[in-house]
């Protein structure tokens, strides 16, 4: 028995392979996660966003002003979603995140330009995510030197000197220094809560099933909805404890500003925590053991992290990836937490991001409750 036996090894191999094939969920995760990573990194991830929504406020209806706007669109980085003469409308689009850029052309732009006065054009940028606008700003600097060459012909050719005939002033809003930690640290609040809340809830139920204590719970007159709420509430407390640690580090070490309402932020985080706990509870009714619960957690966490705009600019992704990202609660939560911390957004401004999270919470709760009833039967 001391010598190595290929026959005995082969018998163990066959037994282990058959056991692995019986665990279909684990096998599906082992195959599905690499495929998911390849698809997301190969097709959905892009670090050079184009077609960024831009609001244009033009107080000069001259040919040169129109040429400048046309050159802006021709770069491919800017997509005009609003044009008008009221700067307040453009500011509102910038505050709510509907616009990435706001271009303001001053009155008398053409006349000042023809007199050689180099009029100033203001470009306000939503810099909460500095990586999303860097290439676009670089392209705009090229446009400044080339946009009006066709209009500055004939006797105006003298204006085609080395310097642009107008001054471009870039105003990075909400993050003037372009600090990446102002974007990453608030995003970490959502990503950490997503992973831990889903995993802890999934492990909590499957642990009871493995230890046999679930049968004792089923013998009590507790209703499925009561069990679900009772299981979720302790993890809500844990989520707020995690939040306290993260926020303390964010303020003390990274000096992330807090422009908006702290109470509003706490309320929004509560909705987000419960939505993720609903997902974890659903996974617990599907998983047969704790390993499967962890695997399902990563299967949910991976697209949440990659398609939410945390690691890569959201608007750089293809349309189909943005559709998937809009379903995930982390996408909307990142906009909410950055909007409150960096922009000072109000509840009314955040409503378009709140109702998708509430809808996700409702659907996840219904599925979890239905699955739990099936588990009882």
Q: What is the pLDDT of residue 218?
A: 65
pLDDT above 70 covers a percentage of the chain that reads: 86
Domain-located, residue 27: no
Looking at the fold, whether 142 and 230 belong to one and the same domain comes out as no
Q: Of 115, 143, 173, at which residue does a domain stop?
A: 173
Range(s) of the domain holding residue 157: 52-173
- CATH, residue 57: 3.40.1710.10
Domain contains 202: yes
Q: How confident is the model at residue 340 (pLDDT cuts 50, 70, 90)?
A: very high
Together in a domain, 165 and 283: no
Mark whether 320 and 338 lie in a shared domain. yes
Of 111, 141, 173, the residue that ends a domain is 173
Do residues 86 and 141 share a domain? yes
**Phi and psi of 203, rounded to 5°?**
-70, -35
Please determine, for residue 102, whether its predicted confidence score (pLDDT) is greater than 80.
yes
How does residue 2 score in pLDDT terms, banded at 50, 70 and 90?
Answer: low
Position 62 in a domain:
yes
Same domain, 168 and 208: no
Task: Judge if 294 and 340 occupy the same domain.
Answer: yes
Question: Which stretches within 219-289 are classed as H helix?
Answer: 224-252, 262-286
For residues 127 and 22, give the distance between their C-alpha atoms in angstroms, rounded to a whole number: 51
pLDDT of residue 176: 84
- Split into its structural domains, the chain has a count of 2
**d(C-alpha 360, C-alpha 355), whole Å:** 9
Please check whether residue 114 lies inside any domain of the structure. Answer: yes
Residue 335: predicted pLDDT:
93
Same domain, 164 and 209: no
| Domain end marker among 173, 190, 225 | 173
Residue 297 has what pLDDT? 86
Residues paired with residue 84 on neighbouring β-strands, in sequence order? 57
At residue 178, the 3 state secondary structure works out as coil
Tell me: do 168 and 306 sit in the same domain: no
Measured distance CA(344)–CA(366) in Å, rounded: 34
Whether 168 and 186 map to the same domain: the answer is no
Query: Are 252 and 153 within one domain?
Result: no
pLDDT of residue 145: 65
* Cα–Cα nearest to 238, from 205, 200, 293, 207: 200
- What is d(CA 60, CA 110) in angstroms, rounded to the nearest whole number? 7
When pLDDT is cut at 50, 70 and 90, the band that residue 351 belongs to is: very high
Least confident of 1-5, 99-103, 226-230: 1-5
Provide the pLDDT for residue 265: 92
Is residue 369 one of the residues assigned to a domain?
Answer: yes
Residues 206 and 138 in one domain: no
Q: Which two tokens stand for residue 123?
A: 């470009």
How many other CB atoms are found less than 10 A from the CB of residue 297?
A: 24
Cα(331)–Cα(276) distance, integer angstroms: 13
pTM of the prediction? Answer: 0.81
**Residue 35 in tokens:** 């495929």
User: Residue 251 pLDDT > 70, yes or no?
Assistant: yes
Reported as a single tens digit per residue, the pLDDT across 81-91 is 988 878 888 88
H or E segment and range at residue 300: helix 290-307
- pLDDT tens digits for 20-44? 677 666 666 667 767 777 777 776 6
């Amino acid at each position: 028995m001391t010598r190595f036996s290929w026959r005995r090894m082969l018998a163990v191999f066959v037994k282990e392979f058959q056991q692995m094939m019986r665990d279909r969920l684990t096998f599906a995760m082992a195959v599905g996660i690499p495929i998911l990573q390849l698809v997301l990194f190969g097709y959905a991830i892009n670090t050079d966003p184009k077609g960024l929504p831009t609001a244009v406020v033009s107080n000069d209806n001259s040919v040169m002003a129109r040429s400048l706007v046309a050159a802006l669109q021709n770069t491919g980085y800017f997509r005009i979603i609003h044009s008008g003469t009221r700067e307040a409308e453009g500011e509102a689009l910038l505050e709510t995140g509907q616009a990435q850029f706001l271009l303001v052309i001053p009155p008398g732009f053409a006349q000042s330009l023809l007199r050689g006065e180099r009029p100033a054009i203001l470009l306000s940028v939503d810099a909460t995510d500095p990586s999303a606008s860097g290439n676009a700003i670089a392209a705009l600097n090229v446009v400044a030197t080339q946009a009006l060459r066709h209009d500055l012909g004939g006797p105006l050719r003298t204006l085609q000197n080395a310097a642009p005939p107008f001054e471009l002033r870039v105003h990075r809003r909400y993050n003037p220094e372009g600090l990446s930690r102002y974007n990453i640290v608030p995003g970490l609040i959502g990503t950490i809560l997503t992973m831990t809340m889903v995993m802890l809830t999934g492990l909590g139920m499957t642990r009871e099933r493995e230890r046999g204590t679930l049968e004792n719970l089923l013998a009590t007159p507790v209703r499925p909805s009561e069990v679900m709420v009772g299981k979720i509430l302790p993890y809500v407390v844990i989520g707020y404890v995690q939040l306290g640690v993260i926020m303390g580090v964010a303020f003390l070490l990274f000096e992330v500003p807090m422009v908006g309402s702290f109470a509003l932020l706490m309320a929004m985080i509560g909705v987000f925590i419960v939505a993720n706990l609903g997902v974890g509870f659903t996974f617990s009714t599907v998983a047969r053991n704790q390993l499967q619960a962890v695997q399902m957690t990563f299967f949910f966490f991976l697209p949440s992290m990659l398609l939410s705009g945390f690691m890569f600019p959201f608007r750089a992704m293809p349309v189909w990836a943005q559709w998937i990202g809009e379903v995930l609660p982390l996408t909307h939560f990142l906009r909410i937490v950055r909007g409150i911390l960096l922009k000072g957004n109000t509840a009314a401004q955040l409503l378009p991001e709140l109702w998708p999270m509430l809808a996700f919470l409702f659907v996840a709760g219904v599925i979890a409750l239905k699955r739990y009833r099936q588990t009882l039967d």
